[in-house]
Structure 1
Amino acid sequence: MSDQAERIKSRRTQLRLTQREVAARVGVTRESISQWEKNSNQQLGSHNLERLAKVLQTTAAWILTGKREKATTSSNVVPMHSKNVESTLMEPLLNEHAEKGTSSADYRIPILAVTASAGHGAVVLSEETTAYMEVPRAVLRAIGIEPSPHLRIISTRGDSMMGTLGHGDFAIIDVSVREMQDDGVYIFQLDGQVHVKRLQHLPGNRIRVISDNTLYPSYEMDETDNFQICARFLGRWAFGRM
């Protein structure tokens, strides 16, 4: 099926869902769903794309390209053996989606040997590459990310950023960002541990650290030598199944 609009409509009818039901679950109007099913050039936006994929029990990649998400383990890709990576989570996913060679429509992003904590902190961020993941360029651009040599992928642990990042999700990050540019979600080191949190500038060189999961209280801290920005969070990559 070559048309995005056709894929959306076909999957919806396959699941026996009405446009109104899909709209309610995605959080948009029925008219929006109707437009998505008529116009393949309609821009969904990253938030709507992810929610639509979840409602349709598929992936953003399939909606945009008709292809399932995949990662390669070809001969020029480093196998994942580092103990710092949650290999029990990541290796089965890579193996399941593995195929020989790469497509020119895909962009290869290094996976770093660290798990960023959306909780109480993980080990220090490492520049060691444990594997590579092939991400469709169309998916990257749909969520506002341009292919760049500064892109990296890390896995996440914990539920304090639920709504933005869930346990076991892959975070696409920009490691060229080493200071707060503005308020947003960053990967940072504090007292030797790596965190992923939403950061907000406050007067007096203070920072508010915010968890998107309201069960976790926010807190404030000074910009000290023990605090270092490692990267900025750009988007989430979560494997789905048809």
Structure 2
Amino acid sequence: MELKDRLKQARKHAKMSQVELAKRAGVDQTTISNLERGKHRGTSHVIPLASALGCSPRWLATGAGQMLEFGRDATDELVFQDAELVEGNEPLGYDEIELPCFREVEFSAGDGSTQVIENHGASMRFSLARLSRAGVQPENAACATVTGNSMEPTIAGGSPIAIDKGCTQIIDGKVYALDHGGMFRVKRLYKLPLNRVRIVSDNGNEYPEEVVSMGHEESPRIIGRVFWWEVFD
């Protein structure tokens, strides 16, 4: 079942017309029509739509879980917890999604070479409401943990971060996650002429600026833009 099918099912269950749903969710009726016809697959409107319909935003966005969580019905008011990234075995909340994690692992050959992989059995939880506010599609979201102090004081070593894999175009000064020859790196990027890029660490005293050419086999691969990180005091 796709998003268009789930949206239509939830709307019928709530006994709402597209016009009424649009009014309650604060979106244009054309948007709802396009979503139900499969012309628009974006999920940036999931939170207000789920709130108006009284259904689970996680189910509406991904199909996971039940349309109506146990003990809730379409007349209940949704209360979204502003949850941060957490790890654990507790059941997901109705407004949470499990995101895969990027990590750097050593090759089995044991020669010290590493590779950046996604998931490998690890995941973290993230609030769908937070994704919606950031304009990030749930299917493009992933997590990682920063190592080292190259981005201090902005991002401390050991901090969890959230990555938008749908944003790989460089916006000058934004923070990106990179796969650079099997190393997982988190840096600020700046565009230069001739397809070159400045790689900048916030801790510039210990980590000098680099300039690399993109598009080569040994060039860094942009995994996505880092749109959230946890700040330690």
For normalisation by structure 2, the TM-score amounts to: 0.52
Whether the 8 Å CA contact 2:102–2:119 is kept in 1: the answer is yes
Q: Label 1:174 to 1:69 Cα distance change in 2 as closer, same or farther (>3 A).
A: closer
Say which of 109, 117, 120 aligns to 1:126: 117
Say which of 203, 212, 221 aligns to 1:213: 203
Whether the 8 Å CA contact 2:197–2:213 is kept in 1: the answer is yes
Q: Aligned-pair RMSD on alpha carbons?
A: 3.0
Report the residue type matching 2:93 in the other structure: S
Q: Label 1:112 to 1:207 Cα distance change in 2 as closer, same or farther (>3 A).
A: closer
SS at match of 1:231: strand
- Counterpart of 1:200 in structure 2 is 190
Q: Is the aligned partner of 1:182 residue 2:162?
A: no
Deviation of 1:239 after TM superposition, in Å, equals: 7.9
SS at match of 1:108: strand
Larger Rg: 2
- Counterpart of 2:228 in structure 1 is 235
SS at match of 1:230: strand
Whether the 8 Å CA contact 1:123–1:194 is kept in 2: the answer is no
- Gaps of at least 5 residues in structure 1 are 1-63, 72-93, 116-121
**1-structure distance, mates of 2:204, 2:123:** 33
The share of aligned pairs that are identical, in percent, is 25
Q: Is the aligned partner of 1:136 residue 2:127?
A: yes
Deviation of 1:180 after TM superposition, in Å, equals: 3.1
**1-structure distance, mates of 2:175, 2:94:** 30
Report the residue type matching 1:209 in the other structure: I
**1-structure distance, mates of 2:210, 2:85:** 38
Deviation of 1:114 after TM superposition, in Å, equals: 3.1
- Gaps of at least 5 residues in structure 2 are 1-78, 106-112
> Where in structure 2 are the equivalents of 1:89-128 lying within 5 Å?
94-95=87-88, 98-99=89-90, 101-114=91-104, 123-128=114-119
For normalisation by structure 1, the TM-score amounts to: 0.50
- Segment drifting more, 229-238 vs 148-157: 229-238
Report the residue type matching 1:104 in the other structure: Y
Whether the 8 Å CA contact 2:179–2:185 is kept in 1: the answer is yes
Instruction: Choose between structure 1 and 2 for higher RCO, CA contacts under 8 A separated by at least 6 residues.
Output: 1
